[in-house]
């Protein structure tokens, strides 16, 4: 509800319980089911920043990786291909707007969604545009009196709506959500429309796929399961709605699907477990008014996720939803998604800190802070690393709230989800950089 107005189990056993761990890292959260569990091992100690690559604006996009090349978007309007070993640019492709979504790789093509309202198909070797598909346009979620901002009759765009939907490639189709309220499937070879499905509001969550179904949430407060071939609705799960100030409503989190269960967070302050085939709720976790924008990671029979307002890192049992570890403080909001990499869990935090936590007991193994966070530009952070909300949000006016959100990002917030490849962690930051960390 941000800015409302103001050791027990051995690693070998854990690995044995992994739900078909990620074999490639070609799309958001690793694969079509988006379970966020990597076959790679993250560093247990921080050694150095191997390199940084600077773009022209914040990097909300999460990197994907293939054959020694890293691919990601930037809010400067470009999609980049960078040598993963050296950080040197291999190519850059210009779009007509910011690219705060994660690219998807399929064969010799890369797919990326831009704020210019187009899905781009690029040659993965050169960045050449192969085709473009135009939606009805992109925008941020908006509502009157949003988050309790004043004046109540004013329509405000949501400054915390930072992501665009990240494409999913399955069965020869590219599937993605749009601000125009539709979920689209287009032919991966030609860009021709295969089907589209209308929801009730902006769709910036990313689709996940399993057993012939595409699962995706909308800002209308519904989670949809669609037939991947036809786009026909199989079921819709209604989460909470907030008709007064539209704060406790909408799916910004993307689903993870494991063993026939959909795990997804919601801005209605819950994490849900839902049956993939029926849409029936298995259990939910109430996060005490705090958004769950983070997409959960699923590994070893446990769910790993983090919250925004309450700034907590959670590990729960996948079957029951009961805590498997005590909740731990991240100090600041988490919007990016955790990555499980071997015996380590990586979590990017909006205070410009990347945390590496022990998978078994949750303790912090090491932290990396951006230079902007260390400098505390704009005095956004208190001495303990938490956001100084009284200073950032002195009033409930829309202008003051938007200014506070911008100052928060000024510390190099991590919206991007960490990727681990060949022992190196890659992550984008709101300070315009992508970091390679060993």
User: Residue 4's pLDDT is what?
Assistant: 37
Quick check: bond before 182 cis, omega within 30?
no
The CATH number of 11-437 is 2.130.10.10
Short-list 392, 364, 365, CA closest to 377: 392
In angstroms, what CA-CA distances link 398 with 93, 141, 151, 155, 355?
35, 15, 8, 9, 32
What's residue 420's pLDDT?
Answer: 97
* Residue 357 exposed, middle or buried by CB count within 10 Å (0-12, 13-18, 19+): buried
pLDDT in tens, 236-289: 999 999 999 999 999 999 999 999 999 999 999 999 999 999 999 999 999 999
Domain chopping of the chain, boundaries: 11-437
Contact 92, 99 (CB under 8 A): no
pLDDT digits (tens, 9 = 90+) for 171-207: 999 999 999 999 999 999 999 999 999 999 999 999 9
Say if residues 437 and 46 touch (Cβ distance below 8 Å).
yes
Q: What is the pLDDT of residue 14?
A: 38
Residues of the chain with pLDDT under 50: 1-23
């Amino acid at each position: 509800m941000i800015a409302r107005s103001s050791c027990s189990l051995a690693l070998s056993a854990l690995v044995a319980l992994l739900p078909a761990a990620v074999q490639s890292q070609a799309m958001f959260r690793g694969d079509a089911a988006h379970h966020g569990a990597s076959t790679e091992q993250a560093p247990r100690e921080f050694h150095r920043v191997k390199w940084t690559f600077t773009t022209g604006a914040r990097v909300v996009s999460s990197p994907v990786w293939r054959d020694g090349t890293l691919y990601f978007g930037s809010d400067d309007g470009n999609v980049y291909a960078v040598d993963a070993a050296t950080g040197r640019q291999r190519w850059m492709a210009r779009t007509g707007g910011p690219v705060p979504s994660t690219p998807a790789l399929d064969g010799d093509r890369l797919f990326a969604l831009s704020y210019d309202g187009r899905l781009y198909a690029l040659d993965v070797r050169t960045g050449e545009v192969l085709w473009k598909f135009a939606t009805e346009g992109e925008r941020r979620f908006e509502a009157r009196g949003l988050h309790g901002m004043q004046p109540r009759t004013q329509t405000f765009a949501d400054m915390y709506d930072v992501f665009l939907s990240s494409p999913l490639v399955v069965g020869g189709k590219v599937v993605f959500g749009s601000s125009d309220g539709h979920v689209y499937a287009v032919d991966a070879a030609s860009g021709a429309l295969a089907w589209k499905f209308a929801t009730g509001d902006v769709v910036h969550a990313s689709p996940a796929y399993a057993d012939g179904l595409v699962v995706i949430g909308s800002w209308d407060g519904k989670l949809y399961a669609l037939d991947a071939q036809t786009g026909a609705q199989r079921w819709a799960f209604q989460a909470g709605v907030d008709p007064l100030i539209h704060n406790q409503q909408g799916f910004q989190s993307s689903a993870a699907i494991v063993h026939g269960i959909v795990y997804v967070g919601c801005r209605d302050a819950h994490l849900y477990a839902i049956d993939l085939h029926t849409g029936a709720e298995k259990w939910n976790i109430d996060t005490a008014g705090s958004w769950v924008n983070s997409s959960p990671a699923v590994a070893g029979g446990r769910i790993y996720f983090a919250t925004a307002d309450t700034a907590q890192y959670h590990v729960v049992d996948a079957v029951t939803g009961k805590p498997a570890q005590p909740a731990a403080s991240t100090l600041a909001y988490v919007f990016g998604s955790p990555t499980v990499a071997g015996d380590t869990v990586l979590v990017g935090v909006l205070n410009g800190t990347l945390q590496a936590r022990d998978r078994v007991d949750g303790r912090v193994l090491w932290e990396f802070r951006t230079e902007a966070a260390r400098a505390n530009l704009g005095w956004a952070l208190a001495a303990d690393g938490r956001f100084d909300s009284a200073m950032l949000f002195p009033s409930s006016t829309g202008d003051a709230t938007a200014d506070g959100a911008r100052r928060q990002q000024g510390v190099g917030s991590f919206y991007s989800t960490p990727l681990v490849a060949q022992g190196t962690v890659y992550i984008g930051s709101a300070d315009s950089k992508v970091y390679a960390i060993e």
